[in-house]
Amino acid sequence: MRTVQEQLAHVLAMVHQVSPIDVVLTDAAGCILAADIVVSEDVPSRPLAACDGYAVRSDDVRGASPSNPATLPVAHVVNDATAEPFRIVEFQAIRVSAGVPLPVGADTVVPLHDTNRGDATVHVYQRPEPGQHVWSRGSDVAAGETALRAGTRLGARQIAFAASLGYQRIRVHPAPRVVIVPIGDELIQPGSNQPGVFDANGPSLRTAVRDVGGVAIQVAPVSDANSQLREALEDQLVRADLLITTGGLSEGENDTLKDVLSPLGKVRFDHVAMHPGMNQGCGELAVETFVRDEERRVPMYALPGHPAAAQIGFEVFVRPALRAMAGYTDVYRPSIAAISTTRWVSPPGIRQFLPVVVTGSPDEGYQFFPVGDPARAETLTMGALSQANALAVVPEDTREVTIGSPLHCLILDD
What digits encode the pLDDT tens for the residues 317-375? 999 999 999 999 899 999 999 999 999 999 899 999 999 999 999 999 999 999 988 87
Instruction: Identify the CATH number of the domain in which residue 343 sits.
Output: 2.40.340.10
The yes-or-no verdict on residue 414 having pLDDT over 70 is no
Query: Is residue 275 domain-shared with residue 316, that is, in the same domain?
Result: yes
Confidence of residue 255 (pLDDT cuts 50, 70, 90): low
The yes-or-no verdict on residue 209 having pLDDT over 90 is yes
The percentage of the chain sitting over the pLDDT mark of 70, rounded to a whole number, equals 97
Among 303, 325, 347, identify where a domain stops.
325
Query: Is residue 305 domain-shared with residue 193, that is, in the same domain?
Result: yes
Q: Does residue 259 fall inside a structural domain?
A: yes
Q: Which residues contact 283 (CB under 8 A, 6 or more apart)?
A: 14, 261, 265, 266, 267, 268, 299, 300
The yes-or-no verdict on residue 293 having pLDDT over 80 is no
Query: Is residue 380 domain-shared with residue 249, that is, in the same domain?
Result: no
Q: Does residue 141 fall inside a structural domain?
A: no
Query: Is residue 251 domain-shared with residue 389, that is, in the same domain?
Result: no
Q: Does residue 140 fall inside a structural domain?
A: no
Confidence of residue 242 (pLDDT cuts 50, 70, 90): very high
pLDDT for 254 equals 60
Of 293 and 347, the one with more pLDDT? 347
Query: Is residue 160 domain-shared with residue 182, that is, in the same domain?
Result: no
Q: What is the pLDDT of residues 19-77, one digit of tens each?
A: 999 999 999 998 999 999 999 888 898 999 999 999 999 999 999 999 999 999 999 99
Q: Does residue 145 fall inside a structural domain?
A: no
Query: Is residue 9 domain-shared with residue 61, that is, in the same domain?
Result: no
Confidence of residue 122 (pLDDT cuts 50, 70, 90): very high
Q: Does residue 69 fall inside a structural domain?
A: yes
Query: Is residue 158 domain-shared with residue 115, that is, in the same domain?
Result: no
The helix/strand count (H/E) of the chain reads as: 8, 28
Q: How many residues does the chain have?
A: 414
Whether 42 and 143 have beta carbons less than 8 Å apart is answered as: yes
Instruction: Identify the CATH number of the domain in which residue 62 sits.
Output: 2.170.190.11
Query: Is residue 354 domain-shared with residue 311, that is, in the same domain?
Result: no
Domain span at residue 87 reads 48-135
Q: Does residue 101 fall inside a structural domain?
A: yes
pLDDT for 183 equals 92
- The separation between the first and the last C-alpha atoms of the chain, rounded to the nearest angstrom, is 33
Query: Is residue 300 domain-shared with residue 220, that is, in the same domain?
Result: yes
- The residues facing 198 across adjacent strands are 188
Confidence of residue 298 (pLDDT cuts 50, 70, 90): very high
352 three-class SS: strand
The domain tally of the chain equals: 4
Task: Answer whether 0.85 is exceeded by the pTM.
Answer: no
pLDDT for 260 equals 87
Query: Is residue 71 domain-shared with residue 117, that is, in the same domain?
Result: yes
Q: What's the CA gap between 213 and 209, in Å, rounded?
A: 6
Query: Is residue 75 domain-shared with residue 165, that is, in the same domain?
Result: no
Q: Does residue 43 fall inside a structural domain?
A: no
Helix runs in 315-414, H state only: 319-325, 382-385
Query: Is residue 215 domain-shared with residue 300, that is, in the same domain?
Result: yes
109 three-class SS: strand
pLDDT for 294 equals 65
Instruction: Identify the CATH number of the domain in which residue 307 sits.
Output: 3.40.980.10
pLDDT for 85 equals 85
Please list the helix, strand and coil fractions of the chain in percent, rounded to the nearest 5, in that order: 20, 35, 45
Q: Does residue 102 fall inside a structural domain?
A: yes
pLDDT for 289 equals 59
Confidence of residue 119 (pLDDT cuts 50, 70, 90): very high
pLDDT for 372 equals 82
Q: What's the CA gap between 104 and 87, in Å, rounded?
A: 4
Instruction: Report the mean per-residue pLDDT for the chain.
Output: 91
